[in-house]
Structure 1
Amino acid sequence: MRFTFLLISILLTLSHHQISAQSTPNYRINGIVLDESGEPLMATILIHELGTGTSANLDGQFTLKNLRPGNYHLHVSHLGYKSLTETVIIENSDINLKWQMEPSAITLQSLTIEANPFKNGPVEQSQTIDVIDRDFIERNNSGTFSNALEKLPGISTINTGVGISKPVIRGMSSNRIQVNDRGIKQEGQQWGADHGLEIDPFDVDRVEIVKGPASLIYGSDGMSGVINISPAPLPINGNINGHLINSYQTNNNMRSHSAMVEGNQNGFIFKGRLTFQDYQDYRVPADEYTYAGFVLPVYENRLKNTAGKERHFSIMTGIRKNWGKSTLTVSRFGQQAGIFTGAVGIPNSYNLQHNGDYSNIELPNQDNSHLKVISNTTIQLGKNWLEMDLAYQRNERLEKSLPHAHGINSSDQGNLALALYLNTYTANFRYNRQINNKQQAIIGFQSSIMDNQFGGFEFLLPKFQSKSAGLFYFHEYRLLDNFIINAGLRMDIAKHQIDAHSQPVYSSAGEPTGNEVLRNPDIDRNYANMSGSTGLSWIISNKSNIKFNLGSSYRIPSPIELSTNGIHHGNFRHELGNSSLKSERSFQGDLNFTYSKHNLLIGFSPYLAYYLGYIYLSPTAKFSTLPGAGTLWEYRQNNAIFSGGEAKIHWAITPELQTNLVAEYVYSHNLDTNLPLPLTPPASVLAGVEWALPYKKTWLPNSNFFMEYRQVAAQNRVDRNERVTKGYGLLEAGIGTEFTLGQQILKFRISGKNLLNAYYFNHMSRYRLLNLPEQGRNINISLKIPFEIKNP
């Protein structure tokens, strides 16, 4: 009912603005785009608020028509040049503009930044933001969205096999980083390390990673960073196009097929996508592993029951007019994946044998689905803009296993060991006000309601309902032409209502005794907190820029941290919550220095964060008393320090030959135990080279070759009872090209990961706890077929 009421309110508002727009005068923005020497450029010009734009003609000239009086943020981009952003204020006449773009051989500098709340340029905003586009994601696709981000400095992943992964920013994950899809926080993946991001990697057009404190704008879960998944610009009016993508990975015989079509007919916009992925048990460079002192076989180098399949669809429709835009997106991500047989119960040589079908998804397994209904609306109010995001999410997670593996002879739940059903309702509002040429402000409101139910013969997390609301104000002031400052305050309230739960007790023979044990008590907690931040950007010259941010934010303990008490089989451990946990408070500082010219980019980003009451899951020296469980891990709370930094160098030796070097380091320290915090990613260095093959005017245009090598240091700084991990090196290379078949353009790419078939352990991998190495050599072959149905 709440969601329906909000949708009706939006429709009434849109109707009012559509009627009033008929009597509002319309104006134009005329302009010309030139290079440094004054030659015209056929650049792309987009209006952020309307999600549409145009391209300059052969003379570099463009016109944006039918614009109402108001404030607009224009993004200008052209391959081979640094992007530009300008705020334009239309009052009672047409606007005439002239831009000169600075050349850059570094491709990513042509991408604009929109994650900045004020939508201004990359040097004006004060936060450290990395931007990647669809080409980057397609080149680095490993089957999951999270793994495609690992090439960026400060980003790593927590993996469970090859089909499940979740992102880590500067050593933090789950509820300390926020993943937004079309402005809505993705819910469900915070329940554990084996709960990956349920996002189709083929359905991502643009990603912006905000590193450092971002809680003020995005909420308390943005304490360490935010990953914004943004839709592509709306199609040009009268255009209908799409593409087909097919890929194959040799290691686990993964077959991926994705089809997309989108269009714009007189302001009516639509987009649809359908994706299928199927994969078999994956291969490792080992024929045995050691667990609990026993040497166990890995038959034919394949981990039994790690096959899976994914099905995804998304449909978007909406309207784009001169008063704004409104879209409605419905998507569903479904995944069925096996859980390695040795993860539940006691592994032995017999149950590790294959049955000859490497595609079979046996017990134990997980069946996940994530349904999202998202409404995004931008409306012009006077000269300013109101943004509204409404959403409903339904996350279902089913874990299936044989009851006897859990010390139970039979169950009326059948093989359903655990079920989690999470419903989430979200409403976000932001009013963007351009005060004058020097000042901008944002007033925002965010709210959510989460309701969790559970089932199955096992227990991990009780029923709960969580409500939260936040109000913030953010202000930016251009003190000088080259010196911009910002500051803001935020107030949040939240409430957790968690039900008590008692679980049946079974005898040693697996029969119910008729007794029950209390697994968690009733918990009713209220929270209220204030947070604030300030930042600056000093544009020293047109080549160098310094940014600095200070912030104090908070995070309330999640229901799983307060009340979990059960075996998390995907993590191979018994996890125990703590109902006395208090809110975390952090004090963070973040510095970013960038030097950039047309063929060189140097960046350095150190950071320091002090946490009061940092909540973390720590291994103990105890074994769980529950059947089939391993060690006991407990949620604890201590004061802690996180620090480190990222450095990157991108050098275009020639326009065709480019090199890059990325280094990252995370340091964590528990101030109460005087030990490192668990699961801290090790330091790493990634070096790469890319060569655009000199076949520009032959039958193989736009061909390129790349090679990268990552060296990961040993992780010897570990918490008590946590294992150390040895260092390792990985080699990756690939080649891509375009060719035509008749009139059809085809884009072909072949690449290989872990080409040396290295035997190594990823410190952030869940299977490391079983002494299982990571995936061996993997060759990825992909073919993309773009098509056009209608051209204006």
Structure 2
Amino acid sequence: MGFTAMGLAQNSISGVIKNENNEVLSNVEVLVSDAAIQTKSNENGLFELKNLPIGKITLIFKKENFEIKSEEIAIGKQEQKIMVVVLEEEAHHIDEILVSSIFNKTQNENVVKIDHINLKNIQNEGAINLSDAIATNPGVNVVSTGVSIGKPVIRGLSGNRVLTYTQGIRLENQQFGEEHGLGLNANGQESVEIIKGPASLLYGSDAMGGVLFFNPEKYAANNQTEFSVNQVVNSNTQGSNSSVTLKTSEDKFKFLVQNNYTTHADYQTPNGETVVNTRFIEKDFKVGTSYATSRYVADFRYNYNDLNLGLPEEDIEDARFRTPLYPSQKIENHLLSFNQKVFFKNSKLEATAGYVFNNRKELEAADEVALFMKLKTFNYNVRYYLPDFGKFETIIGFQGMNQENRNFGEERLIPNAKISDIGFFGTSQYKMEKSLLQFGVRYDFRIVNIHEFGEIGTEGSFQKLDKNFESINASVGFKTEITEKITSRINIATGFRAPNLSELSSNGVHEGSNRYEIGNPNLKNEQNFQVDLNVDYNAEHFDFFANGFYNSINNYIFIAPNGNTIDDNFVYDYLQNNAALFGGETGIHLHLHEIDWLHMTSSYEMVIGKLDNKMNLPLIPANQWKNNFRANFNVSKNIKNSFVFLQANYTFNQNNVSEFETKTGNYLLLSSGIGTDIELKKSNFNVYLTATNLLNKEYIAHLSRLKADGIYNMGRNIVLGVNFKL
């Protein structure tokens, strides 16, 4: 890369992009990582970016079949730079900028190993919901109730122990509930970054087990308008997913709008039985707008998600077709986020504010609202990126949340309550020639106020409770290049989680699990200490990785029967004991020189979780061996990026079960698919055909909520997807 500089009226970068043979490259994406600014190179390989922020910025260059290139550049006021960029053909991997990381670096420049998944590619492999798509990643699984409800599990931890971020804000939607999924539609999500292990330093309470950080759809390239229509149909559920997206961008202003509609009937098991009331209907609307100058970037996003889903129970009459029967849930999510960045000469200030409104109803009949909860959450996050001091990069900041839950239904799972918390943190990174050292510390304080309700001692009553929780956490990580091809990382971090409202105050029957649950107002913070070790070997045609972890959790909160019954429901208490989880993931990516169009990946994952009394933790996924064989090729000038794949995923027996779980047998699942891009003048199609559970295998996943009733998971499903872009 080379560049020259000259004074002009505004900050801009222009240049030409070539390959290693000095041939110009068209349609190369050029992005600014700190701002919603992007463009594409034209047929002559030329590009130009205007209204760039002053100071140090990172440019990203992306094109299919080429390695992603990132360049850090300092640009002053009223300065233009002219660049010559050379992209190398893709050899073994791509290196994305990680938005969820502390310093927004590429994986190669990051101390913590973070997995980046392009969700548009994963959707081609036939996942019906977002949780299933994420579960393709080693170390990630899903607790499911049919096909409509999926809760991600990271290394054996789920629910409130895994924090979800979307649109740059913390997603709060009663996620502790068992009959509750992510509440996000896959359309409009560009990618997801997965942090495995405590991330409390950046994200606070509930990030003890990890973070799912969803990156929203990018705006159109500068001075371009894009229109796309996406349609996916599923054979097993007779399901349909329709999406329409419009994007338009100028130099300073950008806008996008997207509308999604999804409907699925009941799913069928491999033996042909219909699992009644696993149907659902989802409506989703997204809008975003951005404004950028040389000193200021703002991005506003709004997402409305309406999910109407059936809850499978015994003796439900199979009536109607797609409309959910009773009992059912109707969940509305409103997510508003506003991100601002102010650029100074050698530093940057970033502030994000978010408002989440969750409206959750559980209906027993058309005119019978059993549960009706309104959860309002305002959260904020402020970070100041200090000027570099020698080889040190430093960030200081604070973030917090104000939340209120209110009940309006006949029943109450959790009380009316208010939660307020705030956390302060600082972290630094020291860069050496071939190594990185990162360290930081954080302090959090949370106030929980629970309102009294009902006659104390009766079902559904709640005692008044005022509780304070606080925690100090720290992390240190070290990355080094042992050789040109071998990189190792070690991270030591603490994390915490304050008890949620259900754990503190439950007093009644949880219909999703048929348990009478009693909360414990004396619960303490969960506090964990985790050590992660990662080794990566990256050669031209062969990659290998090995991740190991040990996670010690003090005051782990769990639920256990106390031997009593109330109204024929077994009574469960919330208890605490110390626990430990350990295991890891290992895998290879083979991509031979003689047949470089063929990619073979294989990974193995395991996790073991036990309490101090040697009892097994619940919801620990079985060991898995995941394999993928994929061929990528171009058929002609107009038929490009074609692919054929075969997946073979083997799940081992799960015999390490808690006292209210049963053992699960092993099974092998095959999936296959084919797809391609078709270019027609100024428009193009993407079409794919995928089959999941190809052999129609009868199996029950260990983390299926329907396992207790002996109900099989979904049988063979044929997925046809077409995406049309103008």
When normalised by structure 1's length, the TM-score is 0.86
- Does the 8 Å CA contact 2:460/2:507 hold for their aligned counterparts? no
SS state at 2:178 partner:
coil
Query: Superposition RMSD on alpha carbons, in Å?
Result: 2.5
- For 2:508, the equivalent position in structure 1 comes to 566
| Pairing partner for 1:476 from 413, 425, 429 | 429
Match of 2:628, as an amino acid? G
Distance in 1 separating the partners of 2:229 and 2:204: 37
Which stretches in structure 1 are left out of the alignment for 5+ residues?
Answer: 1-22, 287-299, 343-350, 403-412, 505-514, 788-792
- For 2:499, the equivalent position in structure 1 comes to 557
Distance in 2 separating the partners of 1:25 and 1:80: 36
Write out per-residue CA displacement over residues 37-64 of structure 1, whole angstroms, 9 at most, x where no aligned residue: 6665554332212221344567766554
Match of 2:341, as an amino acid? T
The yes-or-no answer on 1:224 pairing with 2:165 is no
Aligned 1:519-530 pairs, distance under 5 A? 519-530=461-472
The percentage of counterpart residues that share the same residue type is: 27
Aligned 1:236-275 pairs, distance under 5 A? 236-275=221-260
Distance in 2 separating the partners of 1:503 and 1:77: 63
SS state at 2:663 partner:
coil
Aligned 1:76-475 pairs, distance under 5 A? 76-91=61-76, 101-106=87-92, 109=94, 111-286=96-271, 301-342=273-314, 351-355=315-319, 357-401=320-364, 414-436=367-389, 438-475=391-428
Distance in 1 separating the partners of 2:236 and 2:150: 17
- For 1:501, the equivalent position in structure 2 comes to 453
Distance in 1 separating the partners of 2:48 and 2:147: 48
SS state at 2:605 partner:
strand
Distance in 1 separating the partners of 2:8 and 2:200: 38
Distance 1:28 1:307, change over 3 A: closer
CA shift for structure 1 position 722: 2.0
Distance in 1 separating the partners of 2:288 and 2:14: 31
- For 2:4, the equivalent position in structure 1 comes to none
Distance in 2 separating the partners of 1:51 and 1:72: 12
Distance in 2 separating the partners of 1:745 and 1:101: 24
Which stretches in structure 2 are left out of the alignment for 5+ residues?
Answer: 1-6
- Does the 8 Å CA contact 1:80/1:110 hold for their aligned counterparts? no
- For 1:657, the equivalent position in structure 2 comes to 598
- Does the 8 Å CA contact 2:262/2:282 hold for their aligned counterparts? yes
- For 1:575, the equivalent position in structure 2 comes to 517
- Does the 8 Å CA contact 2:429/2:437 hold for their aligned counterparts? yes
The yes-or-no answer on 1:685 pairing with 2:625 is yes
Query: Which stretch of the first structure deviates more once superposed, 631-640 or 552-561?
Result: 631-640
- Does the 8 Å CA contact 2:411/2:460 hold for their aligned counterparts? no
- Does the 8 Å CA contact 2:207/2:495 hold for their aligned counterparts? no
More helix by share: 1
- For 2:688, the equivalent position in structure 1 comes to 749
The yes-or-no answer on 1:738 pairing with 2:710 is no
Distance 1:27 1:260, change over 3 A: closer
- For 1:508, the equivalent position in structure 2 comes to none
CA shift for structure 1 position 540: 2.8
CA shift for structure 1 position 436: 4.4
Distance in 2 separating the partners of 1:272 and 1:132: 23
Write out per-residue CA displacement over residues 377-408 of structure 1, whole angstroms, 9 at most, x where no aligned residue: 11213432111111111101111115xxxxxx
Distance in 2 separating the partners of 1:743 and 1:27: 31
CA shift for structure 1 position 541: 3.7
Distance in 2 separating the partners of 1:437 and 1:96: 27
Write out per-residue CA displacement over residues 318-352 of structure 1, whole angstroms, 9 at most, x where no aligned residue: 3122223212222110011111132xxxxxxxx34
| Pairing partner for 2:608 from 663, 667, 675 | 667
Distance in 1 separating the partners of 2:583 and 2:458: 48
- Does the 8 Å CA contact 1:81/1:110 hold for their aligned counterparts? no
- Does the 8 Å CA contact 2:555/2:578 hold for their aligned counterparts? yes
Write out per-residue CA displacement over residues 133-177 of structure 1, whole angstroms, 9 at most, x where no aligned residue: 243232135332111111111111111111111211111112211
Distance in 2 separating the partners of 1:634 and 1:730: 37
CA shift for structure 1 position 583: 0.7
CA shift for structure 1 position 25: 7.0
Match of 1:570, as an amino acid? G
Write out per-residue CA displacement over residues 88-137 of structure 1, whole angstroms, 9 at most, x where no aligned residue: 2235765566665554344x615333322212231221111111224323
- Does the 8 Å CA contact 1:146/1:157 hold for their aligned counterparts? yes
| Pairing partner for 1:709 from 648, 670, 682 | 648
Distance 1:600 1:33, change over 3 A: farther
The yes-or-no answer on 1:534 pairing with 2:476 is yes
CA shift for structure 1 position 210: 1.5
- For 1:589, the equivalent position in structure 2 comes to 531
SS state at 1:746 partner:
strand
The yes-or-no answer on 1:781 pairing with 2:720 is yes
CA shift for structure 1 position 501: 2.7
SS state at 1:444 partner:
strand
Distance in 1 separating the partners of 2:224 and 2:181: 36
CA shift for structure 1 position 193: 2.4
Distance in 2 separating the partners of 1:539 and 1:149: 29
Distance in 2 separating the partners of 1:743 and 1:610: 56
Match of 1:84, as an amino acid? K
- Does the 8 Å CA contact 1:84/1:121 hold for their aligned counterparts? no
Match of 1:48, as an amino acid? S
